[in-house]
A and B are shown apart, each in its own frame.
Chain A
Amino acid sequence: MIGNDIVDLMQAAKDSNWQRNGFLDKLFTPEEQFLISSDIQPPTMVWLLWSMKESAYKINSRETKLRLFAPVKLVCKNLIIHNNKATGNVLCDGLLYYTQSQISEDYIHTLAADQEDELDRASVKIMDYHKEYRISNPQSVSHHGRYLALAYL
């Protein structure tokens, strides 16, 4: 199973003040907060970690049939960033998810999968938002701000 999440960085900057007191504590583990504070671009790390959690949550909530707002339970691990790509894991109550992210100036996109080989087999389309996306039958849909991200397996 796959899940995907896109963050429109312009929209995120407008809608969220990540420096607000308590914001990071409620969303991120101490280790994740360390990654944020030690990054040369803290906002990019905030939204990268967030998109990892969101994409993994989309799989987790379908698998467990549980809807919860528990971002700190989705723990980002083994993050490796190289140029504009990142790979990592998200661990949630003993379940492991694999993630692959793309970082651009305008957005951050993460594809998550519960089987590692699904990351290679899946395809992702990122485009301007439009309403007729269901026609192509994507397995995971993410819309934020200007962007629509569709993932197929």
Chain B
Amino acid sequence: MDREEIIARLKPIVSTYVEDKDQLENLNEATDFIKDLRINSANLVDIVLDVEEEFGIVIDNLSMEKMLNVGASIDIIETKLVQQ
């Protein structure tokens, strides 16, 4: 799975937790969940749980620490998919 494909599957998950949907138009690897998309920090855990379900992976706490933006999330998803 390439990064484009991962981002396409990640976008609908992330959009669930974004109030102002206009912010999603320019979603790219640098997009920060909290600073750019204004996602509530308690909902970050929902993104992690949704990603686990969508990609069939387990995200440990150490990996979760870095899941604050799109690029870091793709890195973690890629790593976990390879490990399987």
Contact = CB atoms under 8 A, between A and B. Distances in A.
A28 to B, nearest CB: 10
Contact of A144 (B17, B40, B44, B49): B40
A24 to B, nearest CB: 9
Given A16-B46, A20-B46, A70 B40 contact: no
Contacts of B49: 20-23, 26
Contacts of B4: none
Interface string B32-54: 00000000111111101100100
Most chain A beta-carbon neighbours within 10 Å: one of B44, B45, B65, B66: B45
Contacts, number: 43
Interface in A40-72: 50, 54, 67-72
Contacts of A73: 61
B68 A26 contact: no
Interface of A: 12, 15-16, 20-23, 26-27, 50, 54, 67-73, 144
4 shortest interchain CB distances as A-B pairs: A68-B65, A70-B65, A26-B45, A22-B49
